[in-house]
């Protein structure tokens, strides 16, 4: 994640700029960060995850979104584009543009070398402030590794690590299973 500007932008200035831009940028505490394009492997894992979860949610009134929809961390100046997000129930938007959601139940981030430290650090800490968020998953793209965090109260998260391609990660908050063989399909 690299900074586009080193001067402070308000959240409103960020949104106005972002909505006119041809590329995506995340925003944290007054600074806009350009997002690099994902690798083929990254995009396959994102697509496989969305297909798997989306097919399981087909007959439910819940929404699964790719990384083109921003999430705003409540009571903060942070906007992110999660790789995959799920909203259970009615979607709450930040404003009438309906391009920023406030209430994801589940988020998945596919890790890359360039973003892993930020995703695991400041971004994950920010996501934990979202009251509706009950489960969070990191998916490695350079090895078979899925790490799940499940909310166990206001400030406690239960960690589960899975490294076997034959494994299934249960996601009770959205009533789905992450089948590792499916999410790593065609990634060699």
Q: How confident is the prediction along the chain (188 residues), in pLDDT tens digits per residue? A: 444 445 788 999 999 998 998 888 888 888 888 887 778 999 999 999 999 999 999 999 999 999 989 999 987 789 999 999 999 999 999 999 999 999 999 999 999 888 888 889 999 999 999 999 999 999 999 999 999 999 998 889 999 999 999 999 999 999 999 999 999 999 97
Could you identify the residue written with the tokens 């200035």? 13
> Which domain range does residue 175 map to?
38-183
Q: From 80, 95, 74, 84, select the one nearest 24 (Cα to Cα).
A: 80
CATH number at residue 91: 3.90.1570.10
Q: How far apart are CA 30 and CA 66, in angstroms?
A: 25
Please give the helix or strand (H or E) that residue 136 lies within, else none. Answer: strand 135-140
56 is a domain residue: yes
120 is a domain residue: yes
70 is a domain residue: yes
Contact 138, 147 (CB under 8 A): yes
C-beta atoms surrounding 179 within 10 Å: 17
Sequence-distant (≥ 6) Cβ neighbours of residue 47 within 8 angstroms: none
Total number of domains constituting the chain: 1
11 is a domain residue: no
Q: pTM of the entire structure?
A: 0.90
6 is a domain residue: no
């Amino acid at each position: 994640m690299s900074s586009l500007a080193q001067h402070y932008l308000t959240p409103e200035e960020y949104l106005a700029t972002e909505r006119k831009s041809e590329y995506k940028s995340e925003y944290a505490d007054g600074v806009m960060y350009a997002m690099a394009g994902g690798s083929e492997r990254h995009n396959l894992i994102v697509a496989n995850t969305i297909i798997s979860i989306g097919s399981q949610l087909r007959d439910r009134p819940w929404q699964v979104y790719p990384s083109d929809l921003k999430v705003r961390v409540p009571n903060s100046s942070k906007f992110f584009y999660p790789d995959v997000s799920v909203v259970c129930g009615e979607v709450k938007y930040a404003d009438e543009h309906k391009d920023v959601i406030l209430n994801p139940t589940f988020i998945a981030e596919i890790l890359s070398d360039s973003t892993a430290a930020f995703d695991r650090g400041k971004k994950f800490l920010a996501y934990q402030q979202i009251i509706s968020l009950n489960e969070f998953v990191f998916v490695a793209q350079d090895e078979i590794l899925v790490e799940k965090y499940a909310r166990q109260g206001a400030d406690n998260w239960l960690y589960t690590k899975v490294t076997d391609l034959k494994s299934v990660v249960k996601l009770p908050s959205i009533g789905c299973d992450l089948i590792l063989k499916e999410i790593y399909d065609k990634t060699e």
